[in-house]
Amino acid sequence: MAFLSETYKVISNGSPAVKSQIQRLPRDSEKEDGHSVPLVLVEEPSPHLKCTVCKRLYNDPVISVKCGHTFCRKCAFKVTHCPIDGQLCDTSQLVVNRIVVGQIEDLLIHCQYGLTETDGDHSPDPSGCQEHIVFGKREEHEANCVFAPILCPNNSGRCGRFRKSELDRHLEVCQFTPCGHSEKGCEFVSTAEEVRKHEDTTCGYRGLQKSVSFKDFSQQNRILEENNKELREEVGLLTQRVELLEGGRENMQKQLTACTSSLLALQQKYENIQGLVEQLLNGGRNRRSTGSPGSSQEMTRLRSTSSSNTAMVLRSPPTSPSKVEDWQMPFQFKCIGTLRGHKDIVWCLATQRQKLCSSGADGLVKVWDMETLSKGCIKTLEGHSKVVHTMVASGDILYTGGSDMSIRAWNMETLTQHANVEVWEAKTLTHKHTISGLHHWVRAMCLNKAKDRLYSGSHNTIDIWDTTGTFDLKGKIDHTFGSVYSLAITHQYVIAGTYNQNIQVFDVETKQHTRSFQGHIGTINSLITSLSGRFLFSSSIDKAIQIWSLELMLPIQNLKRHEGSVNTLILLGDYLISGSEDHEIKIA
């Protein structure tokens, strides 16, 4: 415990309070210099606590061992002899008087923040701290005293200190109140009221986001430098990789060039071979088609440009011979229209010149003009009382056969019923079948005009009949693929669509099975080939139409536009026409 004060004043409890308006208080720095911390006792201390040398309260009391009297330590050094008994004062023989120290520490004093000063005299301030504290606990109390002054946060140098209760009043008038956006950089300073006006109207920093404060700059700089280093390393790695890739790319380009030239050579060879094949085919076709001139129309191909029926262009010299299609791979069939009119399943289709005939479960034969398809059905032929299963056009006559046990013939020019074909004619064929010993349904038949042969598909067999008049059995293709539902013939192949075993290809000469076409799921309802025999079209109950190349033996296109089993297909020039269980006929 240090006794810093050499001047003190005693004010008794009963003395009238000294009124003072002075609010300025001593500063912390002045406390270092002990003389300025005022000590004001609450009661007059006992005379035994006063030094006989300086007549004041003991400051650091020590006993002179020689005579036993007590002095302040400083006073003991000032005197040579004890003022009470005159004995020599030996400063080497001084002992702290602990009893007096304890008594002084128990004295009640005023808090320094409860005092006011007038001409160097300190007296209690009724507006300050009113606590009486024991001298020994003074520092402890004053460190936490709520009356201790606080520096003005706006400008400690210019404004100084204020008691807590006075600070709020000061802040209202403080000239150094900063703008609320000072952290963003605003340097405006004024009274609180002026600052409020400034913030609401003229402050240029109002809308800005809080920016990085100056303190953060070195930290930020360090982080950015680290990031920069990492990025440079990454760029280095990426540069290496790009160089590697560029090397690879050059290699690939060389290989690509090599491949391209090989491909060009192959294409050249392919074209040469194709030319040869077409020459051969044309020779064969011309020989065969002499017997049936005008059986097909020639159409210009407008697949990629035509999207509506009305845009179709037809050139149809009626007397020209059948023309082999000149489709060059790759080509594509696109659905260009849907014919709606049938109220039930479409089972069969036939064409004659520009006319398309369709029929099915509704028993009606509808005739459409290929040149004016957009105008709809041009004629509905009524006559059959039940489902029409099949129809065939020959010359100007359309033959239709149905569940009502009748075969009807229609004149295609006048579109009227021509005759009722006698049922027994059909029975003659049935008769032949019986002779051959067939025990299963015949679901598919196909004519090979070049060889005068009729092929009929049955269960596990395809029978070949002579069509020159006798209908003798001329051959048989035995197989294990189950029931044959559709048949097609080219100069090379007999192609059979089966109940559930895909499409099977047999050699027309050797009658050996050569290949299976996988792709459809379920029964193959219809098979047709292009005139040249290069392409095969198949339709199935799986709602799809598949186009195959018989040269490559590969599927080349899948058409899936119907919403029901596709029952029948027909090819008219460059148009593929399909009839379906969904009552619709689509043209591709």
> Long-range contacts of range 533-536, CB-CB < 8 Å, 24 or more positions apart?
533/281, 533/490, 533/491, 533/492, 533/493, 534/325, 534/327, 535/325, 535/327, 536/488, 536/495, 536/503
Please report whether residue 367 would count as binding Zn ion according to CB under 5 A.
no
312 forms part of the interface with Zn ion (CB under 5 A): no
Taking the C-alpha atoms of 415, 373, 386 and 445 in order, what is their torsion angle to the nearest 10 degrees? Answer: 90
Find the shortest distance in angstroms from Cβ 23 to Zn ion.
14
Tell me how far, at minimum, the Cβ of 43 lies from Zn ion, in Å: 18
Which of 42, 67, 426, 556 is the binder for Zn ion (CB under 5 A)?
A: 67
- Per the structure block, which two tokens stand in for 585? 């006929």
Identify which range of 166-174, 386-394, 478-486, 497-505 contacts Zn ion by CB under 5 A: 166-174
**Which pair of tokens denotes residue 65?**
């061992």
**How far apart are alpha carbons 255 and 274 in whole angstroms?**
28
CA dist 219 and 221 (Å) reads 5
To which H or E segment does residue 245 belong? helix 217-289
DSSP-derived letter for residue 35 is G
Label the pairing between strands 39-41 and 8-10. parallel
Question: Is the peptide bond between 61 and the residue preceding it cis, with omega within 30 degrees of 0?
Answer: no
Tell me which of 11, 40, 41, 53 binds Zn ion, using CB under 5 A: 53
Closest CB to Zn ion among residues 153, 236: 153
145 part of the interface to Zn ion, by CB under 5 A: yes
| Closest to 370 in 3D by CA, of 147, 537, 574, 94 | 574
* CB of 67 or CB of 335, closer to Zn ion: 67
Long-range contacts of 405-413 (CB under 8 A, 24+ apart): 408/383, 408/384, 410/365, 410/381, 412/352, 412/353, 412/355
**Does residue number 381 form part of the binding site for Zn ion (CB under 5 A)?**
no
Q: Based on the shown chain and the rule CB under 5 A, indicate whether residue 39 belongs to the binding site for Zn ion.
A: no
Task: Tell which one of 42, 54, 281, 450 touches Zn ion (CB under 5 A).
Answer: 54
Distance, CA of 465 to CA of 528 (rounded, Å) = 20
Q: Please say which residue, 192 or 313, places its beta carbon nearer to Zn ion.
A: 192
- Which one of 176-184, 357-365, 428-436, 511-519 is the stretch in contact with Zn ion (CB under 5 A)? 176-184
Based on the shown chain and the rule CB under 5 A, indicate whether residue 195 belongs to the binding site for Zn ion.
Answer: no
Q: Which residue in the set 94, 149, 162, 188 belongs to the binding site for Zn ion (CB under 5 A)?
A: 188
23 touches Zn ion (CB under 5 A):
no
Residue 545 within binding range of Zn ion, rule CB under 5 A = no
**Of the candidate residues 3, 113, 410, 535, the single one contacting Zn ion (CB under 5 A):** 113
Q: Is 179 near Zn ion (CB under 5 A)?
A: yes
* Binds Zn ion (CB under 5 A): choice among 159, 367, 373, 559: 159
Tokens encoding 16: 């009238």
Name residue 486's beta-bridge partners. 497
3-state secondary structure of 104: helix
* Angle (CA) 180 185 191, round 5°: 40
Q: Which of 203, 346, 350, 391 binds Zn ion (CB under 5 A)?
A: 203
- Site membership for Zn ion, residue 84 (CB under 5 A): yes
161 scored as a contact of Zn ion (CB under 5 A): no
Among 82, 373, 566, 569, which residue interacts with Zn ion (rule: CB under 5 A)? 82
DSSP codes of every residue in 495-526? EEEESSS-EEEEETTT--EEEEE----S-EEE
- The answer to the question of residue 174 lying near Zn ion (CB under 5 A) is yes
Cβ of residue 61: shortest distance to Zn ion, in angstroms? 9
Radius of gyration of the chain (CA): 60
3 state DSSP class of 240: helix
Instruction: Mark residues 125-144: x for contact with Zn ion by CB under 5 A, - for none.
Output: ----x---------------
Q: Answer yes or no whether residue 154 interacts with Zn ion by CB under 5 A.
A: yes
Q: How many residues bind Zn ion (CB under 5 A)?
A: 23
What is the nearest approach in angstroms of Zn ion to the Cβ of residue 216?
21
152 touches Zn ion (CB under 5 A): yes
Binding of residue 69 to Zn ion (CB under 5 A): yes
CB of 16 to Zn ion, least distance (A): 21
Taking the complex as a whole, the smallest distance from the CB of residue 206 to Zn ion amounts, in Å, to 8
Q: 408, 392 in Cβ contact below 8 A?
A: no
The nearest distance, CB 72 to Zn ion, in angstroms, is: 3
Cα 386 to Cα 388: distance, rounded to the nearest angstrom = 6
Cis peptide before 124 (omega within 30 of 0): no
Interface with Zn ion (CB under 5 A): 51, 53-54, 67, 69, 72, 75, 82, 84-85, 111, 113, 129, 145, 152, 154, 159, 174, 179, 181, 186, 188, 203
